[in-house]
Amino acid sequence: MSSKPSASSFKVEQPDDVRNVVLIGNAGSGKTSLFEQLLKARVEGYRGEKLDAERQAQLYLASFVNGGTLVNMLDAPGHTDFVGELRAGIRAADAAIFVLSAADGVDGAAQALWDECTQAGLPRVIALTKLDSGHSDFDQSVSSIQTSFGEGVLPSHVPTMSDPDTLQGNIGLLSLLEHDYSSGAPVDHPVSAEDDQVNTWRGPLIEGIIQETENDELMDRYLGGEELDSAYLHKELMKAVATANLFPVIPVSAATGVGVEELLRLMELGFPTPTLHPNPDVDNLAGDPVEVPETSADAPLVAQVIRTTTDPFAGKLSMVRIFSGTIKVDDNVQVVGKYPAGSQHEDHSDVEKISSIQVAAGVELKPRQQAIAGEVVMLPKLNTAETGDTITSQAKPLVVGRWSLPDPLLPLAIKAATRNDEDKLSGALARLATEDNTARVDRSSGDQLVLWVTGQAHADLLLGRLVDRYGVRVEQEELRIPLKETFIGPSEALGRHVKQSGGHGQYAVCHIKVEPLDRGAGFEFVDKVVGGAVPRQFIPSVEKGVRAQLEKGVLAGYPVVDIRVTLDDGKAHSVDSSDMAFQMAGSLALKEAANPKVMALLEPLDLVTVTVGDQYMGAVMTDLSGRRGQLLGTDSQGNKTIIKALVPQSELTRYAIDLRGLAQGSGTFTREFHGYELLPQNLVSKYVKE
């Protein structure tokens, strides 16, 4: 048997020699098992990779030679927590193999993944697995998928079963060949166009190709009953798939490898090339849109960092998709990072030297001297490059727009386990944020360090990385909600700071009145002292003391807001009065005025916008009401419902996890700060005790 050609020795002459394919599918679909089968079929000696937590949570690249093409195959995580990695894979790829289990059908998680592809305009082929589960029927599965994903779902192959529970092979509807795996390797047999399954599905597939390609010649030949050449049909299929409106279905077994050769053949002949898939929009450095360069080795260099990994020993490694131009070893390039407003990352533009170009050969990395438009390569030691940054020429710098990232909506309050960990924590978190743009570090809530993540799996991954990669141990603590205190009724009090201890004493007396203000009004200080009861030079001292106590709180240790304090009387001593004495008197006066009957706590509310399938609307609205949410209304968007509500932040700490359970993985939400409202009286005692 001849050895299989290596991806590292394959010479890419033009972008059409490349196929960039991302595998997408939810847990249990067989996606990663299919990824392994495809590699084993084309990579000599490949024995499989260890499926640990890191492997399953990241975008994974492997490359192999397939016929006359080089396939860069990306395995995207199927877990909802890692949708940022999925979107990176979609940006890098020109087409997707969407892996779907016939036994499970289209559930909420699969629909969410499909919607991600639709929003990006990504061409897809559906690999239908688990037809041999004993609970599946091909025709019924296709019909169900069409109901969920549209009439563009059309089989390109139909299964052959040796019995109801065993997938034996398949029939190619364009090639009119049966591929029989019963002997352990595929054996081809011609079939008639009159075969029942062929007769059912071949016509709709060819008509779908004609509709998407608008090929009048093909339509005339088809309607005229002319025999159609397989190579010609596959060429037109490639064009049709590239429109992202026609989605061929091919039955495969991720467990046995049945259908893998046909999927690989379809990848070569029917998947769009980099020149057929439009490049993302680009701007110049000033932010003005410019014409998108063509996918050519001779065009200006435009490439994008798809993902970044850092290793304490090996340094930084950047996965890069080249959209146009050529990268060569020893080139000086411009690395440009532009971020949306509010990002924790800073804009930058730096010159870096390409020290090495690494290409995947299977899953191993091999050196190469250059790479051209359409390729996905690994670039070591780009010190300033972060995920989403553009790599471009110095002569004509261009910037690729970033793909959207999910907001991390699950907060984790963490602290260093030891003093030694505390010294290393800041640097470790900075490196985590560099390689994972879906994580956010926040210190705005008092003195707590809050790590925002997308879900529990994301949290476990990042906390594990802190220990395993950076040797930093952290402990989780209860998240402290940033409450505030206020007065809900008028009050007045005397602040008296009088001490005599030999020499100069301390003497200051002030009388204040406190009134509540409208929500969000802040703090006002009013001077109504008459007759010099408080000397003019000490009135600012009283205000300073009041303000200091406002920050400390008077009821439960939270800042006091939305009040007016009026200083209307007091006493001073010609010798013992001082700035500090009146500061103390102002502070004491506010504490004395804080009668529990006129005090209340304020809690922060967020405006929450939830998007779920119509079937989950009732459960989600009931749940929001149970979280003390104020429902503001609903809107329809296709078969989804958008629900708006004001919800206390204390009720949202686990909502990123809870919503997935309510909507079977298909619900999404956003939150933005709305304002402060009174905390119900029955909850006040809890915070006062704490």
Three-class SS of residue 351? strand
User: Which residue do the tokens 């003093």 mark?
Assistant: 419
Q: Is 268 left (phi over 0), alpha (psi -120 to 50) or beta?
A: alpha
Q: What CATH number does domain 16-270 carry, 3.30.1490.390, 3.40.440.10, 3.40.50.300, 3.10.20.30?
A: 3.40.50.300
**Domain ranges (residues) in the chain:** 16-270, 282-400, 410-477, 484-594, 602-689
* Closest by Cα among 155, 114, 144, 136 to 249: 155
Candidates 3.30.230.10, 3.90.950.10, 3.30.1300.30, 3.30.70.330; CATH matching 484-594 = 3.30.230.10
Predicted local distance difference test score (pLDDT) of residue 1: 39
Q: Which residues of the chain have pLDDT under 50?
A: 1-2
**DSSP letters spanning 163-229:** ETTEEEEEEETTTTEEEE-TTSS-EEEE--TTSHHHHHHHHHHHHHHHHHHT-HHHHHHHHTT----
568 φ, ψ (degrees, to nearest 5): -125, -5
DSSP letter for each residue of 383-427: TT--TT-EEE-SSS--EEPPPP-PPP-EEEEEEESSHHHHHHHHH
The pLDDT value given to residue 3: 63
pLDDT (0 to 100) of residue 109? 87
The full length of the chain comes to 690
Region 410-477: CATH code: 3.30.70.870
Give the dihedral sign, CA 679/681/683/684: positive
DSSP conformation class of 615: G
pTM assigned to the model: 0.88
Tell me which residue of 188, 239, 243, 194 sits closest to 218, measured CA to CA. 239
Kind plus residue range of the DSSP H or E element containing 70: strand 69-75
* Whether the domain at 410-477 and the domain at 602-689 fall into the same CATH topology: yes
CATH number for the domain running over 282-400: 2.40.30.10
Which is nearest to 248 in space by CA: 181, 170, 185?
A: 170
Token pair 């743009």 in the structure block, residue: 437
* Residue whose token pair is 């303000």: 547
State in words which class domain 602-689 has. alpha beta
Q: What is the pLDDT of residues 366-407, one digit of tens each?
A: 999 999 999 999 999 999 999 999 999 999 999 999 999 889
According to DSSP, the β-strands at 124-129 and 668-678 are unpaired
Distance CA(28)–CA(45), nearest Å, equals: 27
